[in-house]
A and B are shown apart, each in its own frame.
Chain A
């Protein structure tokens, strides 16, 4: 029910981001969505891409500090209030969302997020009938 996200440790100085992007470009990996959270010294660059396992290997080979992590991907209608509805179910179940980002893909909203309790989150998704998106779904949509 979760998909693979790449989490890349990058320092806040010029040249670090392009090194990552170039490595992905050379490996012909498509970035589907990404976000960078930053502190004063470093950032974590999180991204959803085609073929994450291979992308991870290619980045490691290019000496990039990368880790694979499991995140949820939920599809919602592109209408006002749908994100609130989705998050509400998790909130009511007492689940914390560590971070979240979203993007539009073929007219649908996709929410990517990580929780502090993946097992409970999976139950909520099943119970509420939320539409979970698989890596294959994403690859097909791109």
Chain B
């Protein structure tokens, strides 16, 4: 395969590290000029005592102030726009369950670049204009819908905006349209597989599927492997966040060894969430992103709350864009139970190692007699006539969870199909603890 067919944007994708950094500095300077059109940024720069001209090298990015979700809330709805509203053509908004919603604006050029990023990712995992792409993701405000739609169309695929839910219809589309690729949240892929099983549909035998794009929910390597085994195809991890545009920010290449974050579009930093100082490669920290190509709402050093680490900056696939480990979850997802920090993904990782267990689980935190407790409910893959086996299974799950999270949760085995199935992002944690003053 020559380079022309291997890469969607051969020049940018195969830049050397020097090439990437040169482009980044150039684009960072342009972005700073763009930011200066906005009152919020002008004030923020004045408070920090810096001017765009102070940024002379790429490492000078550390002189810039951070941006947070709170900034987006405080300036809701249009306070961080760097272009007049009439130049904007799209708006996405978060739900705002914990305060003011956040608004992200896009110019036509922003949308074009976003589509290019998504198309690059899909091309990278082998999709071509002959493919049929079914987007089984929520649409509307959720950027996984329109983001993948425009990206798949940009690549030139026949794109089916199936949206999430109605699994029987999804399966009919997959068969009738000869769908070769699906994008969905991982919990919905497992749901789709369960319905396929009920309907006697074997994805290997009865479909033309070859690629899955999964993202928007933190998921473990074990969960991915399960999905690949179930569906008989490769499943690639996609990272996106609406603040950056949506999906397209980072994606796994066929090596499946970390996600390439596109450094011609973003400056990637990993910092200690407490000290905000950079952490060395390989150490876990908070992902901080600076947009380099956005017109309507550039974001400088945006604190994503996602925890990850740098795996490397080169790759056998020929792309020298930074490789980051799968997200450990958002720092907001972290549960603190009896002083121990726990991520849902740690629990999932253990559960998925048991072939006796199905894919669905629910973590509930409660306060009983002033003690905080965790209950892990998990569905059994197969019913059994053997009590001793069930009890041994419970014990073994409890033991392995304790090794991972350092405290012993209650483990409750439940029948398959008992736990609520979500067609959007799965709800994995319910916190019913009393809040102390």
B-contacting residues of A (Cβ < 8 Å)? 5, 7-11, 37, 39, 41-42, 44, 46, 63-67, 69, 98, 114
Beyond A39-B391, A42-B413, A67-B385, 17 extra complex contacts between A and B, CB < 8 Å: A5-B385, A7-B384, A8-B383, A9-B384, A11-B415, A11-B418, A39-B387, A42-B414, A44-B384, A44-B387, A65-B383, A65-B415, A65-B416, A65-B417, A67-B382, A69-B385, A98-B386
Contact digits for B397-424, partner A, Cβ 8 Å, 1 yes 0 no: 0000000000000001111111000000
A7 adjacent to B385 (CB under 8 Å): yes
Q: Which residues of chain A come closer than 8 Å to B387, judged between CB atoms?
A: 37, 39, 44
Distance between Cα atoms of A39 and B62 in the complex (Å): 58
Distance between Cα atoms of A5 and B385 in the complex (Å): 9
B385 adjacent to A10 (CB under 8 Å): no
B385 adjacent to A44 (CB under 8 Å): yes
Distance between Cα atoms of A5 and B346 in the complex (Å): 38
| Given known A9-B415, A41-B413, A42-B413, contact A66–B385 (CB-CB < 8 A) | no
4 cross-chain pairs, A with B, having the tightest CB-CB distances, nearest first: A65-B415, A7-B385, A69-B385, A65-B383
Q: Which residues of chain A come closer than 8 Å to B385, judged between CB atoms?
A: 5, 7, 44, 46, 67, 69, 114
Residues from 319 to 346 in B contacting A, C-beta threshold 8 Å: none
Residues from 207 to 255 in B contacting A, C-beta threshold 8 Å: none
Q: Pick the contact of A63 from B384, B391, B417 — CB < 8 Å?
A: B417
Q: Which residues of chain A come closer than 8 Å to B413, judged between CB atoms?
A: 9, 41-42
Distance between Cα atoms of A64 and B414 in the complex (Å): 11
A-B pairs with beta carbons under 8 Å apart, 28 shown? A5-B385, A7-B385, A8-B383, A9-B383, A9-B384, A9-B413, A9-B415, A10-B415, A11-B415, A11-B418, A37-B387, A39-B387, A41-B412, A42-B390, A42-B412, A42-B413, A42-B414, A44-B384, A44-B385, A44-B390, A46-B385, A64-B415, A65-B415, A66-B383, A67-B383, A67-B384, A67-B385, A98-B386
Chain B residue nearest to A71 in the complex (CB): B385
Distance between Cα atoms of A47 and B387 in the complex (Å): 15
Chain A residue nearest to B375 in the complex (CB): A41
A-contacting residues of B (Cβ < 8 Å)? 380, 382-387, 390-391, 412-418
Distance between Cα atoms of A69 and B383 in the complex (Å): 11
Distance between Cα atoms of A11 and B415 in the complex (Å): 7
* Interface of A, helix, strand, loop or mixed by DSSP: strand
State the Cβ distance, A37 to closest chain B Cβ, in Å. Answer: 7
Chain B residue nearest to A8 in the complex (CB): B383
B380 adjacent to A65 (CB under 8 Å): yes
Distance between Cα atoms of A42 and B386 in the complex (Å): 13
Chain A residue nearest to B381 in the complex (CB): A65
A7 adjacent to B415 (CB under 8 Å): no
Q: Which residues of chain B come closer than 8 Å to A69, judged between CB atoms?
A: 385
State the Cβ distance, B421 to closest chain A Cβ, in Å. Answer: 12
Q: Which residues of chain A come closer than 8 Å to B391, judged between CB atoms?
A: 39
Distance between Cα atoms of A63 and B383 in the complex (Å): 12
Chain A residue nearest to B386 in the complex (CB): A98
Q: Which residues of chain A come closer than 8 Å to B380, judged between CB atoms?
A: 9, 65
Chain B residue nearest to A59 in the complex (CB): B383
Chain A residue nearest to B384 in the complex (CB): A67
State the Cβ distance, A33 to closest chain B Cβ, in Å. Answer: 15
State the Cβ distance, A20 to closest chain B Cβ, in Å. Answer: 11
Chain B residue nearest to A10 in the complex (CB): B415
Q: Which residues of chain A come closer than 8 Å to B386, judged between CB atoms?
A: 98
Distance between Cα atoms of A86 and B386 in the complex (Å): 23
A7 adjacent to B414 (CB under 8 Å): no
Q: Which residues of chain B come closer than 8 Å to A46, judged between CB atoms?
A: 385
Residue in A41, A44, A66, A69 whose Cβ sees the most chain B Cβ within 10 Å: A41
Q: Which residues of chain A come closer than 8 Å to B382, judged between CB atoms?
A: 67
Q: Which residues of chain B come closer than 8 Å to A37, judged between CB atoms?
A: 387
Residue in B380, B382, B412, B415 whose Cβ sees the most chain A Cβ within 10 Å: B415
Q: Which residues of chain A come closer than 8 Å to B412, judged between CB atoms?
A: 41-42
Q: Which residues of chain A come closer than 8 Å to B415, judged between CB atoms?
A: 9-11, 64-65
Q: Which residues of chain B come closer than 8 Å to A66, judged between CB atoms?
A: 383
Distance between Cα atoms of A65 and B419 in the complex (Å): 13
Residue in A9, A10, A11 whose Cβ sees the most chain B Cβ within 10 Å: A9
Chain B residue nearest to A16 in the complex (CB): B415
Q: Which residues of chain B come closer than 8 Å to A11, judged between CB atoms?
A: 414-415, 418
State the Cβ distance, B193 to closest chain A Cβ, in Å. Answer: 16
Chain A residue nearest to B416 in the complex (CB): A65
Distance between Cα atoms of A46 and B390 in the complex (Å): 15
Q: Which residues of chain B come closer than 8 Å to A98, judged between CB atoms?
A: 386
Distance between Cα atoms of A10 and B414 in the complex (Å): 8
Q: Which residues of chain A come closer than 8 Å to B414, judged between CB atoms?
A: 11, 42
State the Cβ distance, A6 to closest chain B Cβ, in Å. Answer: 9
Chain B residue nearest to A38 in the complex (CB): B387
Q: Which residues of chain B come closer than 8 Å to A7, judged between CB atoms?
A: 383-385
State the Cβ distance, A121 to closest chain B Cβ, in Å. Answer: 16
Q: Which residues of chain B come closer than 8 Å to A65, judged between CB atoms?
A: 380, 383, 415-417
Chain B residue nearest to A69 in the complex (CB): B385
